[in-house]
Structure 1
């Protein structure tokens, strides 16, 4: 859908070019200058990117496996579609043994914790993170999109809250369908 919207936007820009006329005739007032040519070339490049075919199931699976991810397929009985499953790692962030920081220290750790999680997301290592809504021992989760438990463990333990002992990490392999979203 987003490709269709982008394509329609590009086409509307192209069709709405401001062709100035003289004396009511459809004659250009001036010749096309270099800037307009570059703009049209840029528009064509954008149009090519919009029209680029999405990757096939086999291409996505091959890319993941080349990076070391574990995958498997199954056929959805209802739709008869092939579903690609990928192994992720879910990290449970649990209350740590060292929770004696004063309010100011705890706030600084929280800011560093959020910055760490934001960086993990930006780099593509984590797909989703968030706290739980109760005040239980498990404080939140992060789902790591990395090929190995060792990598997920290393990234999770690099969190400033974990380093300070305020949080502890418990990681489990977790399978999810590639490309499915939360609703």
Structure 2
């Protein structure tokens, strides 16, 4: 950061000492504004990195926090990286075709709207992490992964979906383990 400021100062000084008739005042003002923007952006990026470092929890702290909330976890040491990997139990809800599928087009559209509102609410409340339909037209229609401590809670949330209440979908839930902090690839 200091090097950038010093470099900007010397460049400004060097160009400022040249023949002033070559660069009218407004162009110099624009260059200074651009340099100021670069410096501000650099400061903001460094500040964000510092904040991220301060917020990062250790695996031990995260495990203790999850355990207090009732989540099942276990950890292991990755032989290749020697990092501790924390595994958490989630609940995968499979959405299957239900017995009542005779709704007309308007009713189906309304149920789909309510279904999407339900899933949005689950994400906003932190209960669901990922959801989506399958790409074929089979009996299995989609999946939602619930980030809750118990099967009972996942079952209750999944069965409160308007599509399930209407009988258009059925729910089948299974416990599922995944490593914390690992992104989809």
TM-score in terms of structure 1 length: 0.73
Q: 2:123 aligns with which of 80, 102, 121?
A: 121
Displacement after TM superposition at 1:77 (Å) = 1.3
TM-score in terms of structure 2 length: 0.72
Cα separation, 2, equivalents of 1:50 and 1:155: 32
CA RMSD of aligned residues (A): 2.0
Q: 1:170 aligns with which of 160, 169, 172?
A: 172
* Aligned ranges 1:101-116 → 2 under 5 Å: 101-116=103-118
Q: Identify the residue that residue 84 of structure 2 maps to in structure 1.
A: 82
In structure 2, relative to structure 1, the CA distance for the partners of 1:91 and 1:51 (3 Å cut) is closer
SS of residue paired to 2:80: coil
Larger Rg: 2
Displacement after TM superposition at 1:74 (Å) = 1.1
SS of residue paired to 1:180: coil
In structure 2, relative to structure 1, the CA distance for the partners of 1:81 and 1:152 (3 Å cut) is same
Cα separation, 1, equivalents of 2:105 and 2:52: 50
Displacement after TM superposition at 1:50 (Å) = 5.0
Task: Confirm whether residue 138 of structure 1 aligns to residue 151 of structure 2.
Answer: no
Cα separation, 2, equivalents of 1:61 and 1:50: 19
Q: Identify the residue that residue 28 of structure 1 maps to in structure 2.
A: none
Mind listing any 5+ residue stretches in structure 2 that lack a counterpart?
6-43
Cα separation, 2, equivalents of 1:72 and 1:66: 14
Cα separation, 2, equivalents of 1:64 and 1:118: 23
SS of residue paired to 2:171: strand
In structure 2, relative to structure 1, the CA distance for the partners of 1:53 and 1:144 (3 Å cut) is closer
Cα separation, 2, equivalents of 1:174 and 1:122: 21
Task: Confirm whether residue 181 of structure 1 aligns to residue 177 of structure 2.
Answer: no
SS of residue paired to 1:52: helix
Q: After superposition, give the CA deviation of every residue in 1:26-50 in whole Å (9 maximum; x if it has no partner).
A: xxxxxxxxxxxxxxxxx9xx77745
How many residues end up aligned between the 2 structures? 143
Q: After superposition, give the CA deviation of every residue in 1:54-100 in whole Å (9 maximum; x if it has no partner).
A: 11111100000000000001111111111000000000000000001
